[in-house]
């Protein structure tokens, strides 16, 4: 039986001893793996010590954390419905929206939902096309899908193949979604080091795609160091089969194999070496973009979309292990960067890790034009401790459009979904949440909300293990957002809500 509870947990989880070992490992090694988000398949559950298991069970019994799979939420959040995974059993990933449809990425392909009735979403199509991460975006009649695992070819029937093989393929796939019930695969573009994520810069005749990828190796024929830029693909709307890479702008110029990004360890212990970008968010109305690039955060101009130009570059070698994603506020005078400490597969939302690691970093944007600077103001992390069997860290989120306020909804893997306010850059605060108790109490099992986005009055969350969740927030602070209606939303291509 599903349990609903508005009560706020005390979150006194006593896991400091167990987590101390994890913290030491994270500080020494940086991200848990070379590819921070879960790999080609969901990570196999890893057993925890008997003492950790006992601590988790004790915390559940004491009411400090929810019970296994128990649903809890704040008074202002309603869990509307859940649609379990169906024909695509892989890891659920990112989300995109168009009209009455939601597009949900999955490591086995993507699923199309009719969300005209958010209380009862209906599956319109499920497309089998394996290849992590299957990050998904839509623009007009086109759907874009990232492949960041080495495949035998560019087809949807491909199999895994070592990246050391020259014939291996990874990159971007393009589908025609003019018929939502029958998406058609129309073209593919191979990109250096694949496509971990991608970001659309849409224009009338063309769609530019910024492809983020990283972790090169001298043994990879198509992904050799230095890999200190992004691939720019130009896709003609009327001839998507002609999609092609038109540039590879170097964002971190420098000499030698390492380029000019963060050198990582041993210079900066516990920080990722910058060998590309993880994710980019563009604000087309302002010709502006923010890049989360492993060991660096950057601000750059996209006035010429084929030739983006870096304006400012920042690092945080104390508390940020892996710059993962970025979100502008509506006025474009702030950026929220996320730190994916532990690569999305570790328990970092506990007392031992603390409030400043695996968190969001809020930066004000000062100055004008090419003299703009990113100025750090504060960190935000969910205030609810999680069990040491729950992967939890800052992940994908979006603005909740309320004029004059900076409100955001964000996924935290098994930390659930958080609604928070960063109107005061120096004093961010959580104003609502939804979460499930741990998937397991005797193993570290990867799960939880990958992406949580606000779209046309509801919050939609793609849970890695549990499926597609619909939430509704009812709060005087967020209610004005219900008036905002969009025809399309790719969160990494931020709209001008009030322009």
Lowest mean pLDDT among 18-22, 46-50, 55-59, 187-191: 18-22
Q: Are strands 77-83 and 92-98 parallel, antiparallel or unpaired?
A: unpaired
Q: What is the mean pLDDT of residues 333-361?
A: 97
> How many Cα atoms within 13 Å fall on the side-chain side of residue 363?
27
Q: What is the mean pLDDT of residues 142-156?
A: 97
Per-residue confidence at 13, pLDDT binned at 50, 70, 90? very low
The structure tokens listed for 294 are 């492993």
Count other C-beta atoms under 10 Å from residue 116's C-beta: 11
Q: pLDDT at position 258, please?
A: 67
Per-residue confidence at 252, pLDDT binned at 50, 70, 90? very high
Note the Cα 485 to chain centre separation in Å: 23
What is the C-alpha to C-alpha distance for residues 149 and 130, in angstroms, rounded to an integer?
Answer: 9
Q: pLDDT at position 22, please?
A: 44
469 contact partners, CB below 8 Å, separation of at least 6 = 79, 81, 82, 417, 434, 449, 460, 461, 462, 463
pLDDT in tens, 172-182: 999 999 999 99
Is the pLDDT score of 183 beyond 50? yes
What is the C-alpha to C-alpha distance for residues 252 and 256, in angstroms, rounded to an integer?
Answer: 12
What is the C-alpha to C-alpha distance for residues 46 and 52, in angstroms, rounded to an integer?
Answer: 12
Q: Does residue 466 contact residue 83 with C-beta atoms inside 8 Å?
A: no
Count other C-beta atoms under 10 Å from residue 367's C-beta: 12
Q: Max CA-CA distance within the chain?
A: 61
Q: Does residue 214 contact residue 277 with C-beta atoms inside 8 Å?
A: yes
What is the average pLDDT score of the chain?
A: 92
- Checking phi first, is residue 9 left (phi over 0); if not, alpha (psi -120 to 50) or beta? beta
The structure tokens listed for 104 are 């949900």
The structure tokens listed for 285 are 């109305």
Tell me 321's DSSP state: S
Name the nearest CA neighbour of 224 among 181, 144, 163, 152.
163
Q: pLDDT at position 176, please?
A: 98
Q: pLDDT at position 1, please?
A: 29
Q: Are strands 288-293 and 417-421 parallel, antiparallel or unpaired?
A: unpaired
User: pTM, whole model, 2 decimals?
Assistant: 0.94
- Round the CA-based radius of gyration of the chain to a whole number and report it: 21
Per-residue confidence at 254, pLDDT binned at 50, 70, 90? confident
What is the C-alpha to C-alpha distance for residues 365 and 372, in angstroms, rounded to an integer?
Answer: 6
- Nearest 5°: phi and psi at 51? -70, -40
Q: pLDDT at position 9, please?
A: 40
Enumerate the domain spans of the chain: 16-489
Is the pLDDT score of 20 beyond 60? no
Name the nearest CA neighbour of 305 among 230, 394, 403.
230
Q: pLDDT at position 40, please?
A: 52
- At residue 371, the 3 state secondary structure works out as helix
Is the pLDDT score of 26 beyond 70? no
Helix axes 16-29, 50-61, angle to 10 degrees: 120
Count other C-beta atoms under 10 Å from residue 475's C-beta: 16
Q: pLDDT at position 16, please?
A: 37
Cα dist from 177 to 101, 117, 131, 310, 447, whole Å: 11, 21, 19, 34, 29
- Nearest 5°: phi and psi at 47? -65, 145
- Nearest 5°: phi and psi at 358? 70, 30
Q: Does residue 109 contact residue 93 with C-beta atoms inside 8 Å?
A: no
Q: Using CB atoms within 10 A of its CB, is residue 166 exposed (0-12), middle (13-18) or buried (19+)?
A: exposed
The structure tokens listed for 57 are 């069970």
Tell me 16's DSSP state: H
Per-residue confidence at 170, pLDDT binned at 50, 70, 90? very high
Q: pLDDT at position 18, please?
A: 40
Query: Considering the chain, what percentage of its residues have pLDDT values greater than 90?
Result: 89
Cα dist from 480 to 188, 397, 402, 418, 463, whole Å: 41, 19, 6, 18, 27
pLDDT in tens, 43-78: 678 889 988 999 999 999 999 999 999 999 999 999
pLDDT in tens, 27-48: 443 333 334 455 455 567 888 9
pLDDT in tens, 403-441: 999 999 999 999 999 999 999 999 999 999 999 999 999
Is the pLDDT score of 268 beyond 60? yes
Q: What is the mean pLDDT of residues 334-359?
A: 97
Q: pLDDT at position 44, please?
A: 77
Q: pLDDT at position 259, please?
A: 75
pLDDT in tens, 102-136: 999 999 999 999 999 999 999 999 999 999 999 99
Q: What is the mean pLDDT of residues 196-224?
A: 97
Q: Does residue 343 contact residue 37 with C-beta atoms inside 8 Å?
A: yes
Q: pLDDT at position 43, please?
A: 67
Is the pLDDT score of 100 beyond 50? yes
User: Selecting from 3.30.70.120, 2.130.10.10, 3.40.50.300, 1.10.287.40, what CATH number does the domain 16-489 have?
Assistant: 2.130.10.10
Q: Are strands 206-212 and 231-236 parallel, antiparallel or unpaired?
A: antiparallel
Question: How many separate helices (H) and strands (E) can be counted in the chain?
Answer: 2, 32
Three-state secondary structure along 69-110? CCEEECCCEEEEEEECCCCCCCCEEEEEEECCEEEEEECCEE
Q: Does residue 163 contact residue 149 with C-beta atoms inside 8 Å?
A: no
């Amino acid at each position: 039986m599903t349990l609903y509870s508005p009560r706020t947990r005390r979150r006194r989880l006593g896991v400091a001893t167990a987590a101390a070992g994890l913290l030491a490992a994270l500080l020494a090694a940086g991200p848990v793996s070379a590819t921070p988000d879960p790999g080609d398949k969901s990570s196999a559950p890893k057993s925890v010590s008997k003492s950790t298991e006992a601590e988790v069970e004790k915390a559940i019994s004491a009411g400090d954390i929810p019970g296994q799979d128990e649903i809890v939420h704040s008074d202002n959040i309603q869990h509307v419905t859940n649609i379990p995974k169906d024909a695509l059993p892989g890891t659920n990933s990112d989300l995109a929206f168009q009209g009455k449809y939601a597009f949900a990425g999955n490591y086995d392909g993507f699923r199309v939902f009719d969300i005209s009735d958010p209380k009862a979403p209906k599956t319109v199509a499920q497309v089998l096309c394996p290849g992590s991460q299957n990050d998904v975006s839509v623009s007009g009649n086109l759907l874009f899908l990232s492949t960041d695992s080495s495949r035998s070819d560019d087809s949807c029937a491909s199999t895994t193949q070592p990246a050391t093989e020259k014939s291996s393929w990874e990159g971007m796939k393009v589908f025609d979604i003019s018929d939502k019930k029958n998406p058609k695969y129309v073209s593919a573009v191979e990109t250096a080091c694949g496509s971990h994520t991608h970001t659309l810069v849409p224009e009338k005749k063309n769609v530019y795609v910024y492809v983020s990828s990283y972790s090169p190796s001298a043994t990879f024929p198509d992904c050799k160091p230095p890999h200190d830029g992004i691939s720019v693909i130009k896709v003609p709307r009327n001839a998507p089969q002609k999609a092609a890479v038109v540039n590879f702008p170097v964002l971190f110029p420098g000499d030698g194999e390492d380029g000019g990004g963060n050198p990582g360890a041993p210079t900066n212990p516990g920080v990722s070496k910058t060998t590309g970008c993880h994710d980019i968010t563009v604000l087309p109305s302002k010709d502006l973009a923010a890049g989360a690039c492993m060991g660096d955060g950057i601000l750059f101009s996209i006035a010429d979309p084929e030739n983006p130009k870096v304006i400012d570059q920042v690092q945080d070698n104390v508390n940020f292990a892996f710059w993962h994603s970025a979100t502008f506020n509506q006025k474009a005078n702030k950026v929220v960067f996320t730190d994916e400490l532990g690569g999305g597969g570790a328990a970092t939302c506990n007392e031992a890790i603390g409030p400043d690691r695996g968190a969001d970093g809020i930066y004000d944007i000062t100055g004008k034009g090419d003299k703009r600077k990113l100025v750090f103001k504060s960190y935000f992390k969910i205030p609810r401790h999680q069990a040491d069997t729950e992967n939890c860290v800052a992940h994908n989120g979006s603005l909740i459009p309320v004029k004059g306020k900076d409100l955001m909804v964000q996924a935290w893997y098994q930390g659930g979904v958080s609604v928070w306010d960063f109107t005061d850059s120096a004093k961010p605060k959580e104003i609502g949440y939804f979460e499930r108790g741990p998937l397991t109490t005797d193993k570290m099992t990867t799960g939880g909300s990958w992406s949580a986005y606000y779209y046309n009055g509801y919050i939609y969350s793609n849970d890695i293990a549990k499926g597609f969740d619909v939430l509704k927030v009812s709060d005087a602070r967020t209610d004005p957002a219900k008036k905002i209606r969009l025809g399309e939303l790719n969160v990494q291509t931020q709209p001008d809500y009030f322009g």
